[in-house]
Amino acid sequence: MKLILESFLASLAVLAALVSGSVVVNEVELNPSGDGNEWVELYNSGEEPADIGQWSVSIEEALSSSGTWTGVIPIPKETSISPGSYYVVEGDRRWIHGNNGTVILRTDSWAEVDRTPALSDEEGNDFSWSRYPNGIDTDTRSDWAFIKATPGAENVLRAAF
């Protein structure tokens, strides 16, 4: 019986990995203009809906004096992202930390799905760190561009006029 249960749990883990493999952190706003909240956009690059209910997004910042600051954004139960679609989560207005961070997407069992490189946003404008093109994930810094924010929409490069 124990072997059957272990096999079943392993199968569930493989299934979760297949679904979660298509969801990435797609855009990050660490220093919004005005009184806005930090936000993180997730993107489903897969061909099937992805159940992200009870997952979480963490923003972690290394502080020079006191270790690491972490802000966690829980994703509500029964939340899913359709193929080619976006889901935006907002941080807490009361968070106090610098304008830097690494964003980590985790499942409900705290398994890491995706992680950004360390990002910094000292501008306080409406530009954000964005994967360009959407969903690209080569695990390199070159996946990211600091461009005009497009929460909940396709990341695009715009020519300066």
Into how many domains does the chain fold?
Answer: 1
pLDDT at 91: 92
H or E stretch covering 148? strand 144-148
On whether residue 153 sits in a domain, the answer given is: no
pLDDT number for residue 34: 84
- Phi-psi label, residue 7: left if phi above 0, alpha if psi -120 to 50, beta otherwise: alpha
Task: Give the span between the Cα atoms of 29 and 59, in whole angstroms.
Answer: 11
- Quick one: pLDDT at residue 98? 78
- Give domain status of residue 156, yes or no: no
The CA distance from 32 to 17, in Å, is 32
How far is the C-alpha of 45 from the C-alpha of 98, rounded, in Å? 31
Asked, for residue 161, whether it belongs to a domain, the answer is no
Does residue 71 lie within any of the structural domains?
yes
Instruction: Say what the pLDDT of residue 18 is.
Output: 43
Domain extent for 143: 2-148
Contact 57, 23 (CB under 8 A): no
Local structure of 51: helix, strand or coil: strand
Contact 31, 126 (CB under 8 A): no
**Is residue 155 in some structural domain?**
no
Does the residue 158 lie in any domain? no
Of the candidates 123, 125, 63, 127, the residue with the CA atom closest to the CA atom of residue 96: 63
pTM of the model: 0.83
Asked whether residue 13 is assigned to any structural domain, the reply reads yes
11, part of any domain: yes
Taking only the tens place, the pLDDT of each residue in 13-65 is 444 444 445 999 999 999 998 888 899 999 999 999 999 999 999 999 887 77
Tens of pLDDT, residue by residue over 99-158, are 889 999 999 999 999 999 999 999 889 999 999 999 999 999 999 999 999 999 999 987
Output the domain CATH number for residue 19. Answer: 2.60.40.1260
